[in-house]
Amino acid sequence: MNWKIKAIALTSALMIAAPAAYGDTAATYDSKCASCHGKDGKGKKAMKTLDYTTAEGQKWSDADGVKAILEGKEKMKGYKEKGIDEAAAKELVAYIRKFKK
């Protein structure tokens, strides 16, 4: 491998590694949240969760979202005691916002 190819390989490796925190957020969402909100954020009828892919489903504020994650809302229990802090809750809200394209 010449140095140019090595440099390109290294740069792409770094670019993949950079959003590691985001990968954790996605993993948290998939394991803890997707059962009620859906892996694609569309929600589950049985849970009466909102469809996060629509503008209608995103009509809550970031602060409401963080509060719901930490303290719970309706059938959802708060995650504060389960190791999700405010910073993690904010990242989850940002992750949920991305369901709406």
Residues contributing to the site for ligand HEC (CB under 6 A): 32-33, 35-37, 47-50, 60, 65, 68-69, 73-76, 79, 84, 92-93, 96
CB 99 within 8 A of CB 52: yes
46: DSSP letter: G
Residue 52 beta carbon to ligand HEC: minimum distance, rounded to whole angstroms: 7
Separation between Cα atoms, residue 14 and residue 18, nearest integer Å? 6
Nearer to ligand HEC, 9 or 24 (CB): 24
Nearer to ligand HEC, 32 or 42 (CB): 32
